[in-house]
Amino acid sequence: MACKQFDRVAQFLNLPEKTQAIIKWPQRSLSVTFPVKMDSGEVRMFSGYRVQHHLALGPTKGGIRFDPDVTLGEISALAMWMSWKCALVGLPFGGAKGGVCCQPAEMSKKELEGLTRRYTQELIPFIGPQKDIPAPDIGTDEQIMAWMMDTYSMQVGYPVPGVVTGKPVTIGGTLGRKEATGKGVAFLVKKITELLKLPGPLRVIIQGFGNVGSVSACQLVKDGAVLVGVSDSSAALYNPKGINYFQLLEYKEKTGRLAGFPEADEMDGVELLCQHCDVLIPAAKERVINEVVAEKLRCRILAEGANGPTTPEADHILEERKEIFIIPDILCNSGGVIVSYFEWVQDMQSYFWSEAEVFNALCRILSGALDSIMQFSHENKVSTRMAALSLGIKKVAEAKEMRGVFP
């Protein structure tokens, strides 16, 4: 899917074949297998990966995913999207991604710590503040980043906060990183709502209630929106009169799942995506909007909180159905990596910013990137996704061409 998108954009941009080949393939891919002592006494083997897509613009940057669907192919695609994302919003990074194939929800804290430390140990020669900087993604959080930072620092012999972002604030994390992706999604939704002159209150459906989904929901509700549908891996909930976000959050924190929440009806997850709403936010995994779903969508704005939620086939359908405005993933969820960049800068300078400084700088970058996409899309008569990808890919291509081929 990532390659298909790339080929289409490369053709559109008329990139020389040599440049296409140079920027399409991941520069470095590491595949590791390592043992972890489980609580039962058993020693279990796990497979992990880290892919660095390109290093033309600076060190590489991207999250670490702990999930049973992790494969080298998935991680490579996600690394490629990180490249276009960082370039689009002007960060001095290439894209990377990592992951371990595991079921974090079924592991104890001790097992997760063992897995994180052993995986980090394998990555030591591959990562570093000037080489490659991991961050949270699906199934990982501040605690995991703290263990990664500690493992790396113990190896080199001094504290290296800049080796990961998304750390707890007490050990060199930045204020606002945890909320950054969701707040960025809500900020962009607000901008597009104004552009399209949609009357409020906005009716919102969110697929996924992890960090991105729940913070987006929280911010949109605070801005006056009505949450009519929400889903996680346990259930899809729908209530056209509105779901009380704060009661829902309390219920999820207590039970660990959305299933059984009394103030809404449960429905099929795919059906939920197709309900009538102003804003649909896929905020979980890839490929949930396929060609079947794309035909049936009844939203005005598709805000892609997840990476790669829409397949190229679905994209063709949505390009025909001009009534749906797509905020493409590499812009929509870029708040996370933008604030990661701020965290890295603060770590390098040992000088920390206020939360207001972080959010003002975030909004400035998001607004600028949105304006460039709108302008490119208008001037070249292409979709917002084609515009966003073109801007990102063009920048990487220019950097590669300027640097030339070594030796």
Give me the least distance between CB of 137 and ligand GLU, in Å please. 4
Nearer Cβ to ligand GLU (114/173): 173
Residue with tokens 């000037």: 130
- What residues line the site for ligand GLU (CB under 6 A)? 61-63, 135, 137, 165, 307, 333, 336-337, 340
Residue nearest ligand GLU by beta-carbon distance: 63
Give me the least distance between CB of 333 and ligand GLU, in Å please. 6
Give me the least distance between CB of 398 and ligand GLU, in Å please. 22
DSSP bridge pairs for 236: 231, 267
Give me the least distance between CB of 61 and ligand GLU, in Å please. 5
Nearer Cβ to ligand GLU (282/336): 336
Give me the least distance between CB of 40 and ligand GLU, in Å please. 31
What lies within 8 Å, CB to CB, of 381 at 6+ separation is none
Nearer Cβ to ligand GLU (65/400): 65
Nearer Cβ to ligand GLU (275/333): 333
Nearer Cβ to ligand GLU (137/304): 137
DSSP bridge pairs for 231: 207, 236
Assess whether 190 carries a catalytic annotation. no
Q: Measured between alpha carbons, how far is 344 from 173 in angstroms, rounded to an integer? A: 9
DSSP bridge pairs for 64: 98, 136
Catalytic residue among 61, 85, 97, 167: 97
Give me the least distance between CB of 162 and ligand GLU, in Å please. 12
Q: Measured between alpha carbons, how far is 239 from 184 in angstroms, rounded to an integer? A: 25
Catalytic residues: 97
